[in-house]
Amino acid sequence: MANQRNSTETVGVIDTQALAKTHQEAEQHITPVTVWLFRSDRMGRAQEAKRTRGHVALAKRRKRKFSAGTEHQSNTPLATKAAATIVHRRYPINEALTLSINISDSSVTLSQLDRSQLPHCPKCDSLMGPSVVFFGEAISSVLTEARHSFIVA
């Protein structure tokens, strides 16, 4: 059977200069507003998620009353329903704001938003991500202490 390739797939040598130029052009359009719109769209899709084996495993652990040291950073409501004793790294997804706009379709024009219209942290006034886990983010000292106590015990 012959290899079939997606028509959008590029075959051959990567032109790094063209790639850098494309990246620079894309960066001009990356603003806190467009990033927030993109992430809120992804969060909306996560809310429609179906149960995975991980969700089922959490539910089984809960039924067996085994919940020691469970920590999660999943953004789906199904994971939060599976076990009441999970330690959450971020605020629950149902507290996040979503937009009913399809940003995956390039023909849909995005409304102009000002940075001040986006949700900000009530504690530090920084721009909030819509329930997105950022790699390298700081973990609260309370969670760190709880993890340390669990490991030592």
For the chain, domain boundaries: 16-152
Of the candidates 19, 37, 26, 55, the one whose C-alpha atom is nearest the C-alpha of residue 114 is 37
Residue burial 57-80, b: 16+ Cβ < 10 Å; e: rest: ebbebbeeeeeeeeebebbbbbbb
Look at residue 34 and tell me whether its pLDDT is greater than 80: no
Compute the average pLDDT of residues 119-148: 67
In whole angstroms, what is the distance from residue 113 CA to residue 91 CA?
24
Residue with tokens 């067996």: 64
Residue with tokens 């076990």: 83
Look at residue 71 and tell me whether its pLDDT is greater than 70: no
Strand, helix or coil at 88?
A: strand
99: which 2 tokens?
Answer: 């937009």
Sorting pLDDT into bands at 50, 70 and 90, what band is 54? confident
CB 85 within 8 A of CB 68: no
Strand, helix or coil at 31?
A: coil
In whole angstroms, what is the distance from residue 14 CA to residue 3 CA?
20
Compute the average pLDDT of residues 53-63: 77
H or E element that contains 87: strand 87-88
Eight-state DSSP code of residue 15: -
Sorting pLDDT into bands at 50, 70 and 90, what band is 73? low
Sorting pLDDT into bands at 50, 70 and 90, what band is 11? very low
Give the lowest-confidence range in 3-17, 43-57, 73-87. Answer: 3-17
